[in-house]
Amino acid sequence: MTKATSRILVPVKGQPDDDEAVRLACVMAKRHKAKIYVVYVIEVPRALPLNADLPEELHQAELALDRAEQVADEFNCEIEAELLQARFAGPAIADEAVDKGIDLIIVGIPYRTRLGDFHLGSTATYVLKNAGCRIWLCRDAIGKQETS
C-alpha cells in the first residue's frame, strides 16, 4: 500500500462481515493516521417520504453503529459514525465518499449465491462501478453466511 490514505469510509449493514471491514479500516487508519467514517444507510421505500420515521430500521442502525464503535475501541481507534436516510444505499455511499473527500472505501460483503452463482449484491456493485476512490472488498469466508 503506497498511496496516501487520510479518510476511510466503511459502510455497515449490521452483518457479521462489517466487523472485518471496520478492523481492516482501523489497521489502515493507524498506519496512515487516517480518519474513519462509518455510515449506515437506511433505505426508505419509495412509497414513503425520504424523511419518514422508521423506528425498526433506526434501531438496527443504532446497533450496527454501536457494534462498529466497539470494534474500533478494540483498536483504540476513533471513528465518526453516521446514519443516513436515502432511497438506495449505493448512490448514497458513492455521494458521501465524494462529499467527505474519501480516499478508500472498505466494504464488507458476505459470500452469497443467487441461482447457484456468487452474487455481489446491488449496493457493492453500484459502489464499485461509481465511486471515484479506491475500494477494498472484504469478503467473508464461504459457508459463514446463508445462501440467498
Partner 1 sequence: MPTNEFNRIKSHLPGDIVLHRPRVRSRRLRRVLGVPALFSSAYGNVGSSIYYALGVTAAYALGLTPAVFMLAGVLFAFTALSYAEGTAALPEAGGSSSFARRSFNELISFIAGWALMLDYIVTIGISAFEVPNYLAVFFVDLKSWPLNSIIGIVIIGFLALINAIGVKEAAGLNIVLAVLDLVTQLLLALGGLVLLFNPEILIGNIHWGVAPTWDQLIYGISISMIAYTGIETISNMAEEARDPGRTVPRSITLVLFAVIAVYALISLIALSAMPVHQLPDGTWTTELATEWRTDPVMGIVAHLPALFRPILAAWVGLLAATILLIATNAGILGISRLTYSMGQHHQLPPLLSEVHQRFRTPYKAILAFAVFASLLILPGQIDLLADVYSFGAMLAFTFAHISIIALRWKEPDMHRPFKIPLNVRFRGRDLPVTAILGGLGTLTVWLVVVYSHFWGRTLGIMWVVAGFLLYVIYRRRKGLSLFRTYAPALTVATSSRSTSM
Task: Kindly tell me which of 14 and 91 has the beta carbon lying closer to partner 1.
Answer: 91
Could you tell me the smallest distance in angstroms from the CB atom of residue 66 to partner 1?
7
Per-residue x/- mask for partner 1, residues 92 to 131, rule CB under 8 A? x--xx-----------------------------------
66 binds partner 1 (CB under 8 A): yes
Answer for which of 73, 114, 125, 129 binds partner 1 (CB under 8 A) is 73
Answer for which of 1, 4, 52, 141 binds partner 1 (CB under 8 A) is 52
Residue of 101, 111, 140, 126 whose CA lies nearest to 19:
140
From the list 4-12, 36-44, 103-111, 131-139, the region that binds partner 1 by CB under 8 A is: 36-44
In this structure, what DSSP letter does residue 138 have?
E
* One-character DSSP codes across 8-48: EEEEE-SSTHHHHHHHHHHHHHHHHT-EEEEEEEEEPPTTS
At residue 58, the 3 state secondary structure works out as helix
Answer for which of 2, 3, 33, 50 binds partner 1 (CB under 8 A) is 50
Listed in sequence order, the residues at least 6 apart from 124 whose beta carbon sits closer than 8 Å to its beta carbon are: 90, 107, 109, 137
21 close to 138: Cβ distance less than 8 angstroms: yes
Residues at the contact surface with partner 1, assessed by CB under 8 A: 41-42, 44-54, 56-58, 61-62, 65-66, 69-70, 72-73, 76-88, 91-92, 95-96
